[in-house]
Chain A
Amino acid sequence: MSKMRYSRRAVLKGGAAAVAASALPAPMVWAQEIKDITLRQFGTGVSNLNDVANKVKEDLGFTLEMTALDSDSVTQRAATQPDSFDIADIEYWICKKVWPTGNLQAMDTSKIANYDKIVGIFRSGKLTPESTIAQGTAPHSVGFVDGPGGTSFADEETGWMTLIPTIYNADTLGIRPDLIGRPIESWTELLNPEFKGKASILDISSIGIMDMAMVCEAMGEIQYGDKGNMTREEIDKTMAIFTEAKKNGQFRAFWKTFDESVNLMASGEVVIQSMWSPAITAVKSRGIDCVYQPLKEGYRSWGGGIGLSSSLSGMALDAAYEYINWYLSGWVGGYLMRQGYYSAVPETSKDFMTENEWGYWFEGKPATDVITSPTGDVLAQAGDTRDGGSFYDRMGAVACWNAVMDENQYMVRKWNEFIAS
């Protein structure tokens, strides 16, 4: 009896794999050996989801091992331990740091089935033909190299991609509307003395400096040439403003990890802080009112992508391309978009979302029914609209991309001083 059940399940599994195989137009390597392949992926917590690994096993047959780390550790590992991974799930600004080490290999876009459907931000740099490109490390500027062995970034699409975009979003400040009790419209509110001892920023220098710059610029204190690539003088001025605020007790704490930011907000220690989208979701799912507040100066945006280790070759490399094509084919995109992120190829994700979900998350329409996260938590009720509106409203209002500066080393030292001050 049990044996029969087993075999029935095996047949179903095989069927699912066959369906997946025929649905994907890329060249397939459905050899038996593929089951023995294990790809080791590491990256930040946002996209390193066990659900994805399970689905890969189910759809593609090989094993994906996931390791989740914080941004700094991700950079560190990608730069210093090339043999410890096959696939690096990193952000574009990290790519700028890591690519020169030669630990990653460029990808042939002709092997990427949905390449033409990837959002313009990652190809020409423009969301729509009329868009202007925001400051900072815009993804397209580090997205291409001249050829398979290219070490410097190309200015336009070359057919050789450094990272395949997977997930991106527009970040802003998170607030507790119940504890603030008035509208928040500008980045300047982070340093408003009204929130003395109740504000926080993140202690990851490369991102924190951007949030600082958004604030200083909104205050009219500093005009930046490029917030993503500041001069020493701009760094000094920015740090001076924030050091003074810190000494005056503006900040309750700084956070470095996702759960720290959630706890600070949920416990009411902090009412306004830099935050990431899923952290807002996590606070909300505890029944606490929390808003990802759109601000008039725009968003600080980031994008992540998967890169291939330069040591990947042969069958494992084929499997990796297979994985990338699967990644862009919609299931993951739908999963991530239902968490509030965006997928690189939104149109394929649409098939994996309900009409209501697509309307709420992507089009900025009022929800027609309860919106739940992929894990089943209720995130919004019927009638609610997403903070910030539609995809084009949000990604169209990006003021700056996460970046790594030429003066990075100087900035890091200044950051260390800021923390110690």
Chain B
Amino acid sequence: MLKNRHIQGWLQASPLTLILIGFLILPIITIVVVSFWQATEFSIIPAFTLENYEFLFGSPVTYKVFFATFKYAAITWALTLAIGFTVAYYLAFHIKNQTTQIALFLLCTIPFWTSNIIRMISWIPFLGRNGIANSMLQSWGVIDQPLEWLLYSDFSVILAFVHLYTLFMVVPIFNTMTRIDHSLIEAARDNGASGFQTLTHVILPLTKPGIMIGTIFVLTLVMGDFITVRFMSGSQKANVGRLISNDISLLQYPSAAATAVILLITVLIVIGILLRFVDIRKEL
């Protein structure tokens, strides 16, 4: 009987297992294998070599680019967290009517019904030298010369990231906040806690899992991105994703695979560290 249940369990788990093996494990193994191969301009030679990794670790550009990737990720994370937390807090605690709450929440998602690329590219005419932002500031007399750093700079890259990914922070935080028992907040108030104390001692610890899920979303999305960096920096800046995409477009698959492996390991380490702080499973 027990054995029978065992088999049943395996059978129930097998579709997912097969899908994961086929579409996750095997591709990753392939990437790892290819990263040790040699390549010429037009062909890949399946011969073991460490050259790709040697070049990767031997080039100062790699460190610079990884640093830039972390920089984008950290700044974007901080901004999306601040905005996302505020929005979620407002929705969860200030809007009492559930219908309004849902309506406003849906409102947040409206921009996400359009394509990612469109939302990003629409910033370009807005921020350009003769764009709306600059001509507005000039007509107000705030500036005499157009601000060059508005577009094709780290500023525009991070702006686009924040715009694109804040929702990924709002959703999980909002989700955990709505499940906070309101009697806990009342209890805090009854015990004489100020609004700020309630926020830091009650709400913040209880929303940690939401924050963590949002963080994982944002970090992985930003660290794996290449198209936002390319468009918003006018190809002037690079992150790891761009390094990989450049390699691929120039048919340097093994080199791209090696970079991808290192990026994967880096992201896994980051997530590993994050999960040390919060046990998402326990808290969910």
Contact A252 B152 (CB under 8 A): yes
User: Dominant SS at the A interface?
Assistant: helix
For the complex, what is the distance from the CA of A203 to the CA of B101, rounded to whole Å? 47
A222 to chain B, nearest CB (A): 22
Question: Is A49 an interface residue when CB atoms closer than 8 A count as contact?
Answer: no
For the complex, what is the distance from the CA of A286 to the CA of B244, rounded to whole Å? 36
Kindly list chain B residues whose C-beta atoms are within 8 Å of the C-beta of A264. Answer: 234
Question: Is A246 an interface residue when CB atoms closer than 8 A count as contact?
Answer: yes
Question: Is A151 an interface residue when CB atoms closer than 8 A count as contact?
Answer: no
- What is the total of A-B residue contacts with beta carbons within 8 Å? 87
For the complex, what is the distance from the CA of A200 to the CA of B55, rounded to whole Å? 29
For the complex, what is the distance from the CA of A75 to the CA of B235, rounded to whole Å? 21
What class of interface size applies to chain B in its complex with A?
35 or more
A420 in contact with B252 given A269-B128, A413-B55 (CB within 8 Å): no
Question: Is B64 an interface residue when CB atoms closer than 8 A count as contact?
Answer: yes
For the complex, what is the distance from the CA of A264 to the CA of B152, rounded to whole Å? 11
Kindly list chain B residues whose C-beta atoms are within 8 Å of the C-beta of A413. Answer: 55, 59
Q: Which of A289-297, A318-326, A404-412 contacts B (4 or more CB under 8 A)?
A: A404-412
A254 in contact with B236 given A72-B250, A420-B64 (CB within 8 Å): yes
Contact B42 A255 (CB under 8 A): no
Question: Is A101 an interface residue when CB atoms closer than 8 A count as contact?
Answer: yes
Kindly list chain A residues whose C-beta atoms are within 8 Å of the C-beta of B243. Answer: 416, 420
Choose one: B234, B246, B250; the contact of A253 (CB below 8 Å).
B234
Kindly list chain B residues whose C-beta atoms are within 8 Å of the C-beta of A221. Answer: none
A44 to chain B, nearest CB (A): 14
Kindly list chain B residues whose C-beta atoms are within 8 Å of the C-beta of A409. Answer: 39-41, 252
Question: Is B163 an interface residue when CB atoms closer than 8 A count as contact?
Answer: no
Question: Is B249 an interface residue when CB atoms closer than 8 A count as contact?
Answer: yes
Chain A residue at minimal CB-CB distance from B246:
A416
Contact B235 A417 (CB under 8 A): no
Choose one: B41, B234, B251; the contact of A252 (CB below 8 Å).
B234
Question: Is B130 an interface residue when CB atoms closer than 8 A count as contact?
Answer: yes
Contact B129 A269 (CB under 8 A): yes
Kindly list chain B residues whose C-beta atoms are within 8 Å of the C-beta of A98. Answer: 42
Question: Is A73 an interface residue when CB atoms closer than 8 A count as contact?
Answer: yes
Question: Is B268 an interface residue when CB atoms closer than 8 A count as contact?
Answer: no
Contact B151 A412 (CB under 8 A): no
Kindly list chain B residues whose C-beta atoms are within 8 Å of the C-beta of A2. Answer: none
Question: Is A197 an interface residue when CB atoms closer than 8 A count as contact?
Answer: yes
**Sampled A-B contacts (11; CB under 8 Å):** A97-B41, A100-B43, A197-B148, A203-B235, A205-B250, A253-B236, A255-B234, A256-B235, A267-B131, A416-B246, A421-B64
Using a CB–CB cutoff of 8 Å, the interface residues on chain B facing chain A are 39-43, 55, 59, 61, 64-65, 68, 124-125, 128-131, 148, 151-152, 230, 233-238, 242-243, 246-252
Using a CB–CB cutoff of 8 Å, the interface residues on chain A facing chain B are 72-73, 75-76, 79-80, 97-98, 100-101, 197, 200, 203, 205, 246, 251-256, 263-264, 267-269, 404, 408-409, 412-413, 415-417, 419-421
